[in-house]
A = this chain, B = another copy of it.
Amino acid sequence: MTAGTFLFDKVAFIGIGLIGSSLVRLIRREGLAREIAIATRSPATLAKAEVLGLGDSYTLDAAEAACDADLVMICTPLGAYEAVAKAIAPALKDGAIVSDVGSVKACALRDFASNLPAGVHLVPGHPIAGTEHSGPEAGFAELFNGHWCILTPEKNTDAVAVDKVAELWKRAGMKIEIMDAAHHDRVLAITSHLPHLIAYTIVGTATDLEEHLKKEVIEFSAGGFRDFTRIAASDPVMWRDIFLKNKDAVLDILGRFSEDLTALQRAIRRDEAQTLEGAFTRARAIRKGVIEAKQERIDGKAD
Contacts and interface: CB of A to CB of B under 8 A. Distances in A.
A283 B232 contact: yes
B247 A287 contact: no
Interface stretch (A13-21, A30-38, A162-170, A183-191): A183-191
A89 interface: no
B187 A195 contact: no
B190 A206 contact: yes
A5 interface: no
For the complex formed by this chain, how many copies does it contain in all? 2
Contacts of A79: 273
A6 interface: no
B284 A223 contact: no
Interface stretch (A42-50, A106-114, A254-262): A254-262
Interface of A: 79, 103, 128-130, 132, 147-148, 150, 177, 186-188, 190-192, 194-209, 213-214, 216-234, 236-237, 239-240, 243-244, 247, 250-251, 253-254, 256-258, 260-262, 264-265, 268-269, 271, 273, 276-277, 279-287, 289-290, 293, 295-301, 303
25 contacts: A79-B273, A128-B220, A132-B287, A147-B222, A148-B219, A188-B223, A190-B206, A190-B209, A191-B223, A201-B261, A203-B286, A204-B279, A204-B283, A218-B290, A219-B293, A224-B231, A230-B296, A233-B283, A240-B280, A244-B268, A244-B271, A251-B269, A254-B265, A254-B268, A300-B301
